[in-house]
Each structure stands twice: as C-alpha cells, then as structure tokens.
Amino acid sequence: MSKLTVSFILNGEEVEHETLPNRTLLKMLREDFDMTGAKEGCGAGECGACTVIMNGQAVNACLVLAPEAEGSIIETIEGLSDGTHLDPLQQAFIDNAALQCGYCTPGMIMTAKALLDENPTPTYEEIKEGISGNLCRCTGYKKIVQAIQSVADQNRVGHGND
Amino acid sequence: MKFVGKSIKRVDGVKKVTGSLKYVDDMKMPRMLYVAVKRSPHPHAKILSIDPSEALRLKGVKDVITGEFYTKRGGLYLEDKNFLAVGKARYRGEAVAAVAAESEDIAQAAVELIKVEYEVLPAVTNAVEAMAPNAPLVHPDLGDYKVAPVFFPEPGTNISNHYKLRKGDVEKGFAEADFVFENKFYVPHVQHVPIETHTAVAQMDADGYLTVWASCQSPYAVRQALSAAFDIPLNKLRVMSPAVGGGFGSKAGTTLEGIIIPLAMRSNGRPVKLTYSREDEFENAYVRQGLHATIKTGVRKDGKIVAVQNEFIWDGGAYTEYGVNIVKAAGYASAGPYDIDNVHTDSYCVYTNHPVGGPYRGFGMSEIHFGIEQNLDIVAEQIGISPVEIRRINGLKPGGRTGTGELVEVCGLMECLDNVIRDIELDKEEPASGPNKRRGKAIACGWKAPSMPNNAASSAVIKLNEDGTAHLLVSAQDIGQGSDTVMTQIAAEVLSISPEKITVRTGDTDHTPYEWQTVASRITYSAGRAVYEAAQDAKAQLFELAQIKLGVYKRDLEMRDGFIVSQIYPDRKVAISELALGLTFEDGSGVHGPIIGRGSFIPPNIRNADKKTGLGDHPVAFWTYGAQGVDLEVDVETGHIKVLKVASCFDVGQVVNPQMLEGQLEGAILQGMGTALFEELMLKDGKILNKSFVDYKIPTSDDMPELVVSFVENPEESGPYGARGVAEPAMVPTAPAIANAVYKAVGIRLSTMPLTPEKVLAAMKAKGQTK
C-alpha cells in the first residue's frame, strides 16, 4: 500500500502529513501527532472516547480514515485550552466534578463543545440526548449534564446581555 | 474542619479535562514492540502442539512465546493459573501464545500464522452441572494447588471453595417459624466495562531489572504476583500505574502483565506493549461470576425472620484464584443486613469452562442481594406486612448481631431507610404517564464489608518542603473514585495547610510506599488512615522543634494556616517553612533535619472466623449499610422498564468530599441499573456472543433517571475522621430495588437478571396480563 499526503488544519495550524490510506484519523492523531487526548475505547464508533471535531461536527475519529481529513478543520482536546486558561467547558467539568477516571472526558468535552457550538443554549433534555453517544462508566452522567448545563446557562445570560 | 467535609475540586481535574494525563496506552517508547495474543478457539482442549515457525518468518516479528516458557502456576488466593495456558486451555479465548513484533498489524498478522493442534475435551458450561459427580474436571490437579488456609477446595471435584456458615440451629428455627418460603434467583455473568481496556508495557534492562507500566489498581499486589511467577526479587521489579481509566475491580488482579513479561525478558531491552481490544476485554479480562441462589426463609407471623438457609452456586469460570474470596465474602454476608439468629449457608465456587470470574464492584454483594432483597419483599407480602415493616423489624441496629455473630456497634441502616423512603416519596401514589404505563415504587437495602486479608496494610509518607508545601506519597490508586483528592484533604486537615500546597504522588513501587490493593472500598478508610498518621507524625516532629524555637510546651501547640502556633500565647508562632528542613539556631547550627512523616495502618483486631462454623466476633474491618428507593414505569405493551427516579442513602461515617461522594453514589446507581435492565454476557457453549458495544449495552445518558443521594454519618472509630468506604456498597441495592418496583408496577416477579422487555412481557403473559 502506498502512502499519500493529507493536508488539513489541526487545532488552528496547517499540517501536511504522509500516511497510509487505511490509517484511521485516531491512529494518526495519537501515534503520528502524539496527541493522545482522544482515546480508543472500542475502535468501532460505539463509545465516543475518540471524539474530535471535524468541520464543526463531532466525529468518532476511529471511524474516519486519514485521507478523509484532507482539507478539513480538525479540533482536538489539545487545542481547546491555550495552555494556561481552560475553556469554560473544561472549567465546568472540574467545578461540577463531572469526571472520575477521565478516560471518556476528552471525548465527552469535544462532543459537548460541538453541541454548544451548534446550539449555545440547549435544554437539559437536549444535553442528555446530545451526549448519549459518549459512554461513561463512572459518573452516572448527572454531573456531566450539569456541567454542560452550567455553560449553557452562562451562554443564556450572555445572550440576554447582548 | 477546614478541608474534610468540603467539596474540594479534584486535584487531577486539569490534567483530565485537557487530555494531558498520560494513560498507559498513551505511552510510546523508543524501539517499542507490540504484542498480540493467540487464543484458544475451544472452551476446553488439550494443547497437543504449537508451531510458531511460520509466524517467526514474517518480517517484523521478533519473538513468539508459549506457556511452556514459564510453567509455574500463580494466583492471589489459590494458585491455579498460568498467564499463558500450559498443557490445556480451559476457556474460549485463553491465551496460548503471544507474539512481539515491530507493529500491532504485524503482530496481529503473525498470530494468524501460529499453528496450534488441540484435542477438544468435553466442556462444562453450567455451574450446577459442574457440581455433578460425573462432570468433566476443569482442574484435575486441584488437590496439588497451593491455597490460602481460609479457603476450602474439594479436590476431585470442580469445587474450588466451599464456604460454610453455621449460626444457631436452622432446623430448630424453621420448626419455630409460622411460615417457610423458598425462592430461587439467577444472576448471569456481566462485565465491568471500564472505558479504558487493559493495557501494560514491560521493559527489562540488561542487569535484569524489570519495569512494568500497567493500568492496574494495585501496583504492589501486581509486583508480588509477578515476582513469584517469574522469580524476580522485589528490589529488581518496579510496577508503575500512571493512570487508570476505570477499574471497578477488573484491574485489581494481575492479568496481561504476565503475558508480556516473558517477551520483555527476551527482547534485549526493548519495551513491549499489549493493549486489549474491546473484544479482548470482553473475553479475557475478568467477568463477574454468575450466581444460582436458593434462599429458604423461616418467618414468624409478627414478621420476625427466625431462620435462613442459603445455597449459592457460583460460576467461577476457568480460574478462581480471586473468585474463591468473592464466594467467601458472599457467604459471610449471606444474612444480609438483618438480625437473624439461625443462618445456614453453603457458598460454592465452581470451576466451569467459562471466562474467568473476578472481583467486580460489590464483590458478590450485588449478586446475593438481588435474591435477598427480592426475597424479603416476597416474604413480607405473603405474611401481610409491608416491605418497609419487614426491614424495620429485622434490619440490623446497634446492639444487634450479624450473620457471623458479630455485635453491631455502629449502624445507620434505619436512618438510610428513612431517607430513601422520604426522597422517593414511597407512600405517595403517582399516576403513570400514559394508558399503557404502570408505575411502581419500591426499596431495597444492602451492606458490604471490605473483603481482604485481616492484615491488609496501608502506608503513606509526607515530605515537607522548605517553602511550606508538601509531597504526599501513597500507592492508593486514583482509579476515578477521587482518592488523590481525598488523601490530599486528609493531609491538609491535619497539617492545616491548603490542599493546593500538597502534591500527591502514587503508583510506583520504587518510590511510593506499600498499599495492599485499591479494592474493597477500603482506600478512604485504610490509606486515608495511613495518610492521617503520616501527617500526625510530621506534625509531631514540627511540634518538637517548635517548642524549642518558641519556648512553649508542645502540648500547647496547634497547626494553624501554615504555622505552628501556641494556643496560650498566640503571638508565638513559627511557619512550617521555617522548620521543614530542621531547626536552625541563631549561631547557624541546626538539629533534626528534614521533616518526613510516616504513617502505617492495619485495621485493628480483625480475626479469622471459626473454620467449621464461619462465626467470628470481628471478621471484617467494618460494615457499610445503605438503602435505595426506585420509582419506575413499565410499558405493558412493550415490556420496557423506564426508571424515573432513584434515591440512595448510605452511612459513610464521615463525608470527606460531598461532591465526589455524590458522584460515587450516582455512578453506582447507573452501573446497577445496567445490570438490572440489560447487561448480560450471552454465553453459549463457552462462547461469548456479544463481545462488542453493539451487542453489550451499558447505560448512556439517555438512561439516566432523576438521582437523589444523601448520607448518614455514624463515625467509624478506626477510620480517618470517622470515614468508612462506600464505592461498592452504593451499587448493591439497585438491581433488587428495580425488580421490587417492577413487581409493584405490574405484579410480576422476575428472578433472573437482567429484566429485559422480553422477560417482562413473557411473565405478564404467563399471568394473563397482556392482551
């Protein structure tokens, strides 16, 4: 199998990378770019631990093949904070104790990010439904939903001030 | 208190929300080799030959290993297993050979090229059948296996442990009873399903020093097991557990580490790595044992239970090195949290050709309570009293006696019951949401004790830094439950410094002190107590120096906000930072040197129970009691159960971190709901039919009901600030509470988990309740 070159924007930076065409986006991110925030929980698109945002949509990186990244904009958990300041969602997860073992957390936050980017003020039920593709075995989900809700509430206030 | 009892934010929070915490599978090391495993396609087969020659010829393959390289058996309580099969395979999926190669893909391809010849043996895939006299023997050499003296294998059978509890005279009890009922329950195999699968890396240096990085709950126990299996002295074997992506018991033992070590020993210093796929995880990580339970109850007209006879038959799977202790724990807890004078229990650990049973959150309690708590509701109804009344009459209270005859001193069971009755509004009838829906509310209780060796130890070291900060070293593992934060809070409380001034380091057998295991809901209690002692030790050293410095008696000193302060002359004080490296006099000379606090702990006075009767006055460190209430709806057309609300309350002794404790109880409820409603490993002739998330569903956010949790605080005398463990007990009452509520809703009693729509409909049809 011959390698091919893919170009895309990764966390705001233009990158060009040579990869085998059957490599998944997840493997490429984790092994070639050493961005290990996205995790492999099942390798079959069922657990959401590998969630990244591609062209504004939350996707399971284990189901995306590397060539599909060509020309796309990809955001991962590594790009969410600037290294010193956390994204409001990240802070909300800490404040609400919305994480335990942390393995699902990066994927969960990226799904929540995509959800809020599309709808800054989702309802409780919309949040519950929005993260239902991301499995968490530790928390029972309540505090995760509350964390996302707290950011939605901030957004709601923000909109009110507009 | 300043820090204990407060919702301090998780100390590992930032690393986890930024994705920067490195789990073992995130590790990539120079010249690393990747391992893939050849597995038995048969549940029971003699291995006639293994031919790796073709695999070894594949470019990029470095090594192939089989069980013959290390034939020494090992195991935590019963030495019955090899990391790679020796002579025969005892379950489908058992590792028979392993490949190390330059990439995962090459290793996987090589596995296909290994040729194994088997002679298929008759398999036994039902624990009850495995107890029959003519059943095929999974371990014909059981009599030769080394076993801890508190377990009782029956050589020549498939019974690897027969636990007996004989309290009072059960026949006399039944004779005195006004009613005797017998009920049977079955709990199938389920799995832990941590989102992180099992993973480990091993590297051996040229001087024979072996380093293992493993996602494991218990680095010291892993070190001990590996040392024994591979004859490596403990000072040449370092086990690190940098992070654990969920455990629930599945990462308590030693599993895949043993597969990669022989490869590491032969790889000329190259690190080797194995990460289970989800399919591997379902097949080869521990599963929760299946249980066939029979409960016979003698009860008086006034609701007093006078006798209970239990038979628990556990499907332990192919190896029960750990399972024997689950069976024992279930046996001594078999009366449930109830005061019953006559108890007769036989709990059998039975070998089958099934995946390996192992510790799962609850350690047998969830399984036995599915029967115990439904049985109580059945009995209550038969004699015409309410589920609450039968629990109030028989539930343990201070002054009562447990199933093993232990005097109960601290017990908030009745308070927990009151709280969940209040929170679930048990007595308030509420309408169903539609014409096809039936609503029901019910309760269940539960208890659990840490199941561990009597002398299971913890230790901690606290080093003070010259700026008044501190490093806390423990080997209690934060597997998500939040122990890093809890340990920090306890140290902060004793030293009266803010938690931000303490950095906790864990999980490295070369650098963090001994911890038996992160299991059994024992960490807050036991490791927490060791941390408390270490901080007290540091404090005592500070006081020795401060009394010289300040010219006051040390008995009059206290820690306050980073200072050692005289309680009599508040202006006399010295900062921790000033004494952290010792006391320096005006002439520049010094004494004592750095302050290093040391804490060690073994729960006091736990003694073995009597071998013949199982009775004991203090066989466990403590019991944790609690209750749950469930409000649900059953759709009579589809059989679908929708849990609307769950209330949970436990007697935790002392809340250390309210927010994280809520998280433990909430997570436990969802995990319990999964087992109650849909989780089951579908086993057919030893084969798992549903080893993916497509076919094995765990709860999602969509399944989350309204969750209400509360706590009762009757202090545990030997725990830090009175705290006791709760992570496992919190899951125990969920499944039976759901089953009891289904009965309330539609009048059907399901004695087999999970309560699937198919079973609900079939049971309703049998009762003539559907159209």
Average pLDDT, chain B: 97
Distance CA B13, CA A94 (A): 6
Query: How far out from the chain centre does Cα A32 lie?
Result: 18
Cβ contact, residue pair A137, B660, below 8 Å: no
Q: Which pLDDT does position A83 carry in this prediction?
A: 81
By the CB < 8 Å criterion, does B206 face chain A?
no
Q: Which pLDDT does position B38 carry in this prediction?
A: 98
First-residue to last-residue Cα distance in chain A: 55
pLDDT tens digits for B513-570? 999 999 999 999 999 999 999 999 999 999 999 999 999 999 999 999 999 999 999 9
Of B383 and A161, which is predicted with more confidence? B383
A72 and A115 housed in the same domain: no
A95 and A145 housed in the same domain: yes
Distance CA A145, CA A129 (A): 10
A23 and A55 housed in the same domain: yes
A100 and A147 housed in the same domain: yes
What are the chain B neighbours of A141 within 8 Å (beta carbons)?
666, 670, 699-701, 704
Paired strand residues for B343: B167, B308
Distance CA A55, CA A72 (A): 6
What residue of B is the nearest CA neighbor of A98?
B663
Residue B482 has pLDDT above 90, yes or no: yes
Residue A162 has pLDDT above 60, yes or no: no
A162 in any annotated domain: no
Distance CA B438, CA B594 (A): 68
Q: Is A5 exposed, middle or buried (0-12, 13-18, 19+ CB in 10 A)?
A: exposed
Residue B158 has pLDDT above 50, yes or no: yes
Task: Please work out, in degrees rounded to the nearest 5, the angle formed at the alpha carbon of residue B756 by the alpha carbons of B752 and B757.
Answer: 135
Paired strand residues for A32: none
What average pLDDT score do residues B396-419 get? 98
By the CB < 8 Å criterion, does B277 face chain A?
yes
Of B253 and B195, which is predicted with more confidence? B195
Residue A159 has pLDDT above 80, yes or no: no
For CA atoms B404, B409, B415, B416, the dihedral sign is negative
Domain boundary among A21, A52, A79: A79
Per-residue pLDDT band at A160 (split at 50, 70, 90): low
For chain B, give the number of residues.
771
By the CB < 8 Å criterion, does A37 face chain B?
yes
Distance CA A53, CA A42 (A): 18
What is the domain extent for residue A70?
4-79
What residue of B is the nearest CA neighbor of A134?
B700
Domain boundary among A32, A58, A79: A79
What average pLDDT score do residues B337-364 get? 98
Positions of B annotated as catalytic residues are: 728
Domain boundary among A61, A79, A97: A79
Distance from CA of A55 to the nearest CA of B (A): 21
Cβ contact, residue pair A135, B479, below 8 Å: no
What average pLDDT score do residues B20-49 get? 98
Both tokens assigned to B427: 């007595």
Per-window interface: A 86-145 vs B, CB < 8 A? 86, 90-91, 93-97, 99-106, 109, 127-129, 131-145
Share of chain B above pLDDT 90, in %: 99
Per-residue pLDDT band at B770 (split at 50, 70, 90): low
Using alpha carbons, select from B543, B656, B532 the residue that is nearest to residue B600.
B532
Distance CA B219, CA B196 (A): 17
CATH number at residue A151: 1.10.150.120
Residue B280 has pLDDT above 60, yes or no: yes
ipTM value: 0.98
What are the chain B neighbours of A86 within 8 Å (beta carbons)?
14, 17-18
What are the chain B neighbours of A139 within 8 Å (beta carbons)?
663, 666-667, 670
B244-to-A52, A76, B294, B306, B332 alpha-carbon distances in Å = 22, 21, 37, 45, 31
For CA atoms B146, B151, B156, B159, the dihedral sign is negative
Using alpha carbons, select from A28, A109, A100 the residue that is nearest to residue B19.
A109
Supply φ then ψ for residue B174, to 5 degrees. Answer: -65, -35
Residue B229 has pLDDT above 60, yes or no: yes
A50 and A95 housed in the same domain: no
A30 and A63 housed in the same domain: yes
What are the chain A neighbours of B196 within 8 Å (beta carbons)?
39, 41, 101, 103
Show the DSSP H helices in A97-141 as ranges.
105-118, 124-130
By the CB < 8 Å criterion, does B246 face chain A?
yes
**Please, are residues B60 and B103 in contact by the beta-carbon 8 Å criterion?**
yes
By the CB < 8 Å criterion, does B34 face chain A?
no
For CA atoms B423, B429, B434, B438, the dihedral sign is positive
What are the chain A neighbours of B245 within 8 Å (beta carbons)?
39, 101-103
Q: Which pLDDT does position A26 carry in this prediction?
A: 98
Share of chain A above pLDDT 70, in %: 98
By the CB < 8 Å criterion, does B670 face chain A?
yes
Distance from CA of B19 to the nearest CA of A (A): 4
A71 and A105 housed in the same domain: no
Distance CA A107, CA B12 (A): 17
Q: Which of A76, A93, A142 to mutate to test the interface with B (most CBs of B within 10 A)?
A: A142
A94 and A74 housed in the same domain: no
Using alpha carbons, select from A83, A108, A27, A136 the residue that is nearest to residue B25.
A27
Per-residue pLDDT band at A161 (split at 50, 70, 90): very low
Residues 6+ apart with CB under 8 A from B733: B369, B373, B443, B444, B445, B446, B626, B627, B628, B648, B672
A105 and A142 housed in the same domain: yes
What average pLDDT score do residues B240-254 get? 96
For CA atoms A27, A32, A33, A35, the dihedral sign is positive
Distance from CA of B675 to the nearest CA of A (A): 12
A11 in any annotated domain: yes
Return the residue matching tokens 């208190």: B1
Supply φ then ψ for residue B251, to 5 degrees. Answer: -105, 25
Both tokens assigned to B583: 């006391």
**Please, are residues B160 and B325 in contact by the beta-carbon 8 Å criterion?**
no
A27 in any annotated domain: yes
Pairing of strands B687-688, B683-684: antiparallel
Peptide bond into B450 cis (omega under 30): no
A130 in any annotated domain: yes
* Contacts of range B135-144, beta carbons closer than 8 Å, 24 or more positions apart: B136/B44, B137/B351, B138/B44, B138/B90, B138/B318, B138/B351, B138/B352, B138/B353, B139/B80, B139/B90, B139/B351, B142/B80
Residue B771 has pLDDT above 60, yes or no: no
Task: Please work out, in degrees rounded to the nearest 5, the angle formed at the alpha carbon of residue A123 by the alpha carbons of A119 and A125.
Answer: 115
Cβ contact, residue pair A37, B19, below 8 Å: yes
What residue of B is the nearest CA neighbor of A81?
B18
Amino acid at A148: I
Residue A43 region, left (φ>0) first, then alpha (ψ -120 to 50), else beta? left
Provide the 3-class DSSP secondary structure of residue A73. strand
Structural domains in chain B, CATH included, are 31-121 (3.90.1170.50), 290-452+608-766 (3.30.365.10)
Cβ contact, residue pair A86, B15, below 8 Å: no
Report the residue from A30, A46, A99 with minimal CB separation from B693: A46
Amino acid at B295: I
A29 and A74 housed in the same domain: yes
**Please, are residues B222 and B177 in contact by the beta-carbon 8 Å criterion?**
no
By the CB < 8 Å criterion, does A48 face chain B?
no
Using alpha carbons, select from B262, B191, B193 the residue that is nearest to residue B226.
B262
Per-window interface: B 75-114 vs A, CB < 8 A? none
Supply φ then ψ for residue B161, to 5 degrees. Answer: -160, 130
**Please, are residues B549 and B509 in contact by the beta-carbon 8 Å criterion?**
no
Distance CA B24, CA B194 (A): 14
A98 in any annotated domain: yes
A33 and A74 housed in the same domain: yes
If one counts the domains in chain A, the total is: 2
A112 and A67 housed in the same domain: no
Per-residue pLDDT band at A84 (split at 50, 70, 90): confident
Distance from CA of B29 to the nearest CA of A (A): 11
For CA atoms B646, B652, B658, B659, the dihedral sign is negative
Distance CA B256, CA B39 (A): 13
By the CB < 8 Å criterion, does B14 face chain A?
yes
**DSSP-derived secondary structure for B493-549:** HHHT--GGGEEEE--BTTTS--BS-S-TT-IIIIIHHHHHHHHHHHHHHHHHHHHHH
pLDDT tens digits for A86-108? 999 999 999 999 999 999 999 99
Distance CA B381, CA A7 (A): 70
Q: Which pLDDT does position B431 carry in this prediction?
A: 97
Share of chain B above pLDDT 70, in %: 100
CATH number at residue A20: 3.10.20.30
Pairing of strands B210-214, B199-204: antiparallel
What are the chain B neighbours of A39 within 8 Å (beta carbons)?
23, 25, 195-196, 245
By the CB < 8 Å criterion, does A76 face chain B?
yes
